[in-house]
Structure 1
Amino acid sequence: MVRIKRFYRNEDIIRELERIGTDKIIMEHISSKMRFYTFLIEGVSPAIGNIIKQSALSRGTDAGINRLVIKGEPSSSDILIGGTKKEFQYIYEMMKEQPFKIRNIFKEIMETIDFVEKKRRTKIMGILNVTPDSFYDGGRYNDLKAAIDRGIKMKEEGADIIDVGGESSRPGSEPVDEETEKSRVFPVIEALSKEGITISIDTYKSGVAEGAIKRGAKIVNDISGLRFDKNMIDVVKNNDVDVVIMHMKGTPKNMQENPYYEDTMKEIIDFLKERIEFAEGSGVNPQRIIIDPGIGFGKRVIDNIKIMKNIFEFNSLRKPILIGASRKSFIGKLTGADVNERLPGSLLSVFLSIDAGVEYVRVHDVKETKQVIELYYRIMEEDDTIHNN
C-alpha cells in the first residue's frame, strides 16, 4: 500500500521520521526536502529570468517563465518557481555570487520561508462597538455598563484583545467628530484596562488614539492605513504601540461605490508594502506592525473571495496578519444568510485564517471562535494528553 501524505508542520515530518526510525542527525536535512513552497517573482529581466530558470533546473526543480524570454523578449517577465526549502537554500547559495538584485530575490524567499515556519498561535480580537450604527451590534453597547460588561464577558470567553470603536465604518457610514468619539470610547477603555484586559483602539484619528493610549490601549487599529491623519504616525512611533495597517479603497462613506481591481491580491499587497515602508521609514518599530487586507472595505464579493482563498500570500510581507471577516456582507451575498445567521460562515473564515498562519482574527463571536481555534491546534499538534482518552 502506498499512502499520499500531507504535512502541515515541520514537526509532523520529524514525528513521522522518528516513527520510521530515521537517524536523528539527518532528520532536519530530510524534512527540509519535504516542505514544498511556491513563489511568484514579479517583473524580472530576460537575463535574470534565464539565470533563475537554469538554476532551478540544476537543483532538480523548475520555474515557469514567459516562453519568449529565451530570445530576450519581453523586456520583463513574471516567474513562478516551486521547490523544497532545501532546494531554495541551494539556489540561494548559488545566487550569492550573482548581482545584487537576483541575490536579493532569493534572500527574500528564504526570509519568507523562515517567517512562515515560525510557530505562532492565532489570537482573538473581540469587537466592542460603542456606536449606535455599526452593521451588526450597533446600539447594543452604547450604555457604559453594558459596554464594560460585554468587554469583560468577551475576555472570559477567550478574547486576547478587545478592539474598542466609537465610529462606525460600515459602508455608507458618516464620520463622527473627534469629541463624540472620545466620549464614547475613553470611559470604556479606562474601565477595561483596569480589569487587566489588552485594549485596541479602532480609530484613524490621532487625538483619539493618543487619549486611548494614555488610558491603557496597547494597539492602534487604523482602517486608513495611517493615511487619514498625518499625526497618527507620530502617535504610534512616540508611544511604541502596535499598529494595524489596513487596506481600504476610499472612505467608509464611499468605499463600496463600484470598487474595482485589475489584480486584487497584487494591488492589496503592493499597498500594504508601501504603507509598511512608510511606517518603518518614519521610525515605527518594525516589530510593532500588523497588516490587515480589509475584508469588505472597498471590495466586491469576488475580491473578498480572493482574499480569503489566498490569505497565505500575505505572509510575503513577513508581518503578523489580522483578518476581520466576522458576519461581513460577502457571507450573506454568497449564502443568502441574514447578518444574524452568519456565524457558520464567520467560523469558516476563522478556520481558513488559522490554516494560513494568521495571527489575529477580529470577531464578534468570541466563545465560538475560541472553540474553533482550540480544536484546530489540538488536532494539528496531536496533543499527547489526549492519546489515551
Structure 2
Amino acid sequence: MGVVNVTPDSFSDGGRWLDPDRAVEHGRQLLAEGADLLDVGGESTRPGATRPLVVEELDRVLPVIDALVAEGALVSVDTMRAPVAAAALERGAVLVNDVSGGLGDPGVLDVVAEAGAAYVAMHWRAHSDVMASHARYDDVVADVVAELGRRVDAAVAAGVDPARLAVDPGLGFAKTADHNWALLRRLDALAALDLPVLVGSSRKSFLGSLLAGPDGTPRPALEREDANAALTTVAALAGVWAVRVHEAGKALDALRRFVVDLVLGVDTAPAAAGDDLKDAVDYGRVVADVVDAVTSEPVDLIETLAQRVADVVLRDPRVEWVETTLHKPDAPIDATFADVALTITRSRT
C-alpha cells in the first residue's frame, strides 16, 4: 500500500504532494515501483495535528482519487469521516482505511456496509492532539488485540462484510516506541482475530529514535527508509496481508532478497573458560561468508544455495553442525503466500 499524503502537514512529507497534479504523479511513481494499492489521505494524523474541515479534506482527496481511478489504479481512502468515505467510494475507491476503527465517526461503518466496500480498522484511542496521554496499557499486545476485536465486532454489527475486513495494530498511535516494538515482536498475536493484517511503520518516530545519532538526535523522517525496508521483511515473514509504505521500491527490494536464519552447534566451554576470542566462533566472519555465498554465482535451486551456505559455515572447525533456513518471500509462485522457506541441517559427521 503506497502512501499519497495530500496534506500540508504530514510528519514525513507534508506539502510535497498537496498540489493535486503532483499527488497524482506521485501515485503513478508508487505504482511504477510496484505498489498494489494507493492510500490517498487528506488529514494528517501526526502527533499534535489540527484537523481540517470536512470540505478541505474533500477538496484535497477527491481530485486525486478521480485521476488515479481513471488511470486504472486501485485506490483506498485514508479517512475517519463518513462524508469523505462516502464521496471517495462513489468516485471509485475500493477500500476505506480508517485509523480510528470507527470510533472517530461511527457513520463510516454504515457507509462501508452500504457500499459493500473493504475496510481496515486500525487500533486507535484518541485524536492526534491528545493521543500521547492515552499510551497506557496493562499488556499492550493483549490490550490492542482485545480493543481491535471490539472494533471488528462493531463493523460486522453495522453490516460490513467480514470477508472484506482487515485490521491494523496502529503503530505510533497512542503508543510509545516500546509499545511499537512489542507489537512488532508479537504480530502473530493478531492471528486471534482471524483477519488480514496491515502494518504501517514507514518513517515513524520510533524508527528515528532507533537510528538516532551519537548525540541522541533522531534520524530525520526521510532517512528512515532502509530501516523500514527491514521491517517490511519482518512483517512479510510474519504473514501480514499488506504494508503501508512511502517508498514502494525499497520495500519490494527488501522482499526480493533472501533471508537467512542460522543455528550453529558449537561447544562454547573453551571460550567460556578462557574468555579468549581465539576460542570462539567469529560470528561477524560467519555473516560475511554467508553474504558472499548468497550473492556469488547464481543458482537455480534454493536447495543448492542452502547447501552452499551450510558448507561455508562448516569451514570453521569449531562449528560441529549448522541448521540453515533460507526464506524467499518473493518466490515466483502464482498464489498468495507470506513466505517460502527451506531448512536443512548439516554436520561434520
Same fold (TM over 0.5): yes
Post-superposition offset of 1:316: 1.5
- Cα deviation per residue 1:167-217 (whole Å; 9 max; x = unaligned)? 100000011110000000000000000010000000000000000011110
1:199 to 37, 58, 75: 75
| Aligned mates of 1:307, 1:380 — CA distance in 2 | 21
2:307 maps to none
Query: What corresponds to 2:268 in structure 1?
Result: none
Distance 2:28 2:181 in 1: 33
C-alpha spacing 1:250/1:258, structure 2 compared with 1 (3 Å): closer
Matches for 1:29-40 after TM superposition, within 5 Å? none
1:238 counterpart letter in structure 2: E
CA apart distance, 1:376:
5.2
Quick check: 1:329 aligned with 2:205?
yes
2:230 to 345, 348, 352: 348
| SS of residue in 2 equivalent to 1:256 | helix
Q: Superposition RMSD on alpha carbons, in Å?
A: 1.6
CA offsets per residue over residues 46-78 of structure 1, 9 Å max, x none? xxxxxxxxxxxxxxxxxxxxxxxxxxxxxxxxx
Q: Hey, which of these two has a bigger chunk of helix by percent?
A: 1
Residue 383 of structure 1, CA deviation: 5.3
Q: Does residue 1:268 correspond to 2:144, yes or no?
A: yes
User: What are structure 2's unaligned runs of at least 5 residues?
Assistant: 213-218, 260-326, 334-349
- Deviation readout 1:303-336 (Å, 9 max, x if unpaired): 0010111112111211000000001000111221
- Is 1:294 matched up with 2:170? yes
Aligned length: 260
Specify the SS of the correspondent of 2:132.
Answer: coil
Q: Structure 2 CA distance, aligned partners of 1:376 and 1:360?
A: 19
For 1:192 and 1:381, locate their aligned partners in 2 and report how far apart those are by CA, in whole Å. Answer: 27
1:186 paired with 2:62, answer: yes
Aligned equivalents of 1:316 and 1:283: distance in 2? Answer: 21
* Within-5 A mapping of 1:376-387: 379=328
Per-residue CA deviations over 1:54-104 (Å, capped at 9, x if unaligned) read xxxxxxxxxxxxxxxxxxxxxxxxxxxxxxxxxxxxxxxxxxxxxxxxxxx
1:312 maps onto 2:261 in alignment: no
**Counterparts of 1:308 and 1:288 in 2: how far apart (Å)?**
24
Distance 1:376 1:240 in 2: 38
CA contact (8 A) 2:230 2:254 kept: no
| Structure 2 SS opposite 1:236 | helix
Aligned partner letter, 1:131: T
Give me the whole-angstrom Cα distance separating, in 1, the residues matched to 2:329 and 2:224. Answer: 26
Mapped to 1, the partners of 2:188 and 2:53 lie a distance apart of: 37
- The counterpart of 2:118, out of the listed 234, 239, 242, is 242
Shift of 1:382: 6.1
Distance 2:58 2:332 in 1: 45
User: Given the alignment, which residue of 71, 87, 97 partners 1:221?
Assistant: 97
Give, as a single letter, the amino acid of the residue that structure 1 aligns with 2:108: M
Q: Are 1:254 and 2:130 an aligned pair?
A: yes
SS of residue matched to 2:256: helix
> TM-score by structure 2 length?
0.72
Q: TM-score, normalised by structure 1?
A: 0.65
For 1:376 and 1:237, locate their aligned partners in 2 and report how far apart those are by CA, in whole Å: 41
C-alpha change, 1:380 and 1:201, in structure 2 (3 Å) is closer
Instruction: Give the gaps of 5 or more residues in structure 1.
Output: 1-124, 385-389
Could you say what secondary structure the match of 1:127 adopts?
Answer: strand
Q: 2:313 maps to which residue?
A: none
Q: What is residue 129 of structure 1 aligned with on the other side? A: 5
Q: Which secondary structure does the structure 2 equivalent of 1:244 belong to?
A: strand
Matched to 1:196, the amino acid is: G
SS at match of 1:245: strand
Q: Which residue of 2 aligns with 1:71?
A: none
